[in-house]
Amino acid sequence: MERVLKNYLPRIQSNVYWIEKALEKEAKGEYEKVIINKLANIGYLA
């Protein structure tokens, strides 16, 4: 399991970067804001 997590960690961190960029531009709809926030939280937990 640890090996799998180590393999996916860089991908998750990369996705967090792009999610943060989207947050900087601010999502227009409330639904989009919630999704972006949840994805960012997942990335930070990784």
Domain ranges of the chain: 2-45
pTM of the model: 0.47
Which residue is listed with tokens 């989009």?
A: 32
pLDDT band at 46 (very low <50, low <70, confident <90, very high): low
- Cβ-proximal residues to 11 (8 Å cutoff; 6+ apart), any chain: none
Rounded Cα–Cα distance for residues 30 and 46 (Å)? 25
pLDDT one-digit tens code per residue, 8-34: 888 888 888 887 777 777 767 777 777
Q: Which two tokens stand for residue 2?
A: 């640890």
